[in-house]
Amino acid sequence: MKLETERLILRPWEDRDRAALAEIQGDAHVRRFFPRVMTREEVEADIDAAREKARLNGFHFQAAELKETGALVGLVGLGVIPDATRAAIPSHPRVEIGWVIGKQYWGQGLAPEGARAWLDYAWAIGLPEVVAFTAHINLPSQRVMQKLGMIHDPSDSFEHPKVPDGHPLRPHVVYRKRNPGP
Ligand SMILES: CC(C)(COP(=O)(O)OP(=O)(O)OC[C@H]1O[C@@H](n2cnc3c(N)ncnc32)[C@H](O)[C@@H]1OP(=O)(O)O)[C@@H](O)C(=O)NCCC(=O)NCCS
């Protein structure tokens, strides 16, 4: 699936993205709201898994490339929520939207720009709703959700099953947006 915005090309992963994504996901500041950074091997496995999930579901988190330079700025996309996480969220939503952008590109509205295109795609393929979730202390990501017109649903807050008990990143908030219809 290839989508285009004013400044971005949102496209399937290519082998040339492996090193660039490993640099972004290996950065402790970028990953400060995740339990830890990712190794090169984990990033490689993630890219392979993303390709497989895109094949199975028709979408997954994909590359976001800056049109002007061809550089990888990060990942944006839709994903079917993994079963263990889905079970932990009170409303058991099916599809999430998410983003990780390299820190040199922060503050330019690139995450919301890419995410808007992915939401349009979600509505075009008839998904009834898309949610976004993040650690309750990850305010930059929640700003992106707000910019997309997603609504915070406090009744859906949950403890992330992959984060240890008592860890400050365990409590998560959920934002949702419904398909605006034809
Ligand atoms: C969250 C993230 C994707 C936002 O991407 P972005 O393209 O910078 O988005 P925006 O330009 O719209 O900025 C969103 C918010 O990020 C914060 N932000 C912007 N520039 C920043 C900077 N240089 N340093 C810290 N925070 C910054 C601000 O709170 C901003 O909100 P504002 O526009 O109301 O001031 C990006 O910060 C990121 O990749 N963070 C690390 C990964 C992550 O947490 N992903 C989400 C996991 S759920």
Q: What is the CATH number of the domain that holds 48?
A: 3.40.630.30
**Domains of the chain: total:** 1
State mean pLDDT over 62-82: 98
Mutate to test the pocket of ligand 1, among 34, 85, 99, 139 (most ligand atoms within 8 A of CB): 99
Give CA 84 to chain center in angstroms. 17
143 CA from centroid of ligand 1 (Å): 7
> Does the CA dihedral 135-34-82-101 come out positive or negative?
positive
Contact 94, 80 (CB under 8 A): yes
What is residue 26's DSSP assignment?
A: T
Q: Domain residues for 128?
A: 3-178
**Residue 124 pLDDT level (bands cut at 50, 70, 90):** very high
In 3-state terms, what secondary structure has residue 27? coil
HSE-up (13 A, CA, CB side) for residue 161: 10
172: pLDDT strictly greater than 90: yes
State mean pLDDT over 125-149: 98
106 CA from centroid of ligand 1 (Å): 6
What is residue 168's DSSP assignment?
A: T
50: pLDDT strictly greater than 90: yes
State how far the Cα of 71 lies from the Cα of 134, in Å rounded to an integer: 26
pLDDT, position 182: 72
Tell how strand 8-11 and strand 61-66 pair up: antiparallel
Cα 92–129–67 angle (5° rounding)? 120
140 CA from centroid of ligand 1 (Å): 4
pLDDT, position 99: 98
